[in-house]
Structure 1
Amino acid sequence: MADAQHIQRRSAHIAVSPAPARFTVGRDRRGAWIVWDRQGLVGGLFATEKAALHFAAEECNYNPADICRAPEGSVLELDGFAMPSPNLH
């Protein structure tokens, strides 16, 4: 019993790093808003930031941990989406 309590207390102090966000929202070279999916399943170009964030939120069931913003000044590209795919919406 004492060993189990010791293990529980010890494991409580171990920091667990969260999984990286699935979606990154940022701008491309022309200033359009991009949603980039780390898994490469969906994504796209959007006219407004609001539309890009809405799309990402819908795709991850409104889990804010799955959405991050690209660092200020960075440029996103949709290289992985150059070929048409039936999974893109």
Structure 2
Amino acid sequence: MANALHIQRRSARNHLSAVPARFIVGRDRRGSWIVQDREGLVGGLFRSEAAALHFAAEECNHNPADICHAPEGTVLDLDGFASSSSNLH
């Protein structure tokens, strides 16, 4: 979980970066955890924050610069993805 803490600390500074993080981790309206990539190609719905962070880390070869948390109060959704359940993990 040390990686999760590192990612949380970076989330506040990440919006200032010239290159945005590849993945954003946050919650949907029901409180489930969501991972979205900035292009809407990869992501999913997860039962826990740890599972969401694990997925994002695996997808970006554990580069913490590619992962950030959504700003406080932001609600994410999977509307950008195809309606196929194959995108949900």
Q: TM above 0.5, one fold?
A: yes
The number of residue pairs the alignment matches comes to: 72
Structure of higher RCO (CA pairs closer than 8 Å, 6+ residues apart): 2
Determine helix, strand or coil for the equivalent of 1:81: coil
Q: Structure 1 residues 48 and 85 mapped into 2: Cα distance closer, same or farther (>3 Å)?
A: closer
Aligned to 2:80, the other structure's residue is in SS state helix
Q: Which runs of 5+ in 1 are unaligned?
A: 1-16
CA distance in 2, matches of 1:85, 1:60: 22
Alignment of 1:33-48 (within 5 A): 33-48=33-48
Alignment correspondent of 1:3: none
- Between 1:64-73 and 1:77-86, the stretch displaced more is 77-86
- The residue identity in structure 1 corresponding to 2:84 is P
Separation in 1, partners of 2:85, 2:31: 24
Q: How far apart are the structure 2 equivalents of 1:58 and 1:85?
A: 21
Report deviation, 1:85: 8.0
After the TM superposition, which segments of 4 or more aligned residues of structure 1 sit over 4 Å from their partners?
none
Could you say what the CA RMSD is over the residues aligned between the two structures, in angstroms? 1.7
One-letter amino acid matched to 2:42: V
Describe how 1:3-82 pairs up with structure 2 within 5 A. 17-82=17-82
Alignment-mate amino acid for residue 73 of structure 2: G
The CA distance in 1 between the partners of 2:58 and 2:22, in whole Å, is 12
Structure 2 alignment gaps of length 5 or more: 1-16
State the TM-score, normalized to the length of structure 1.
Answer: 0.73
Identity %: 76
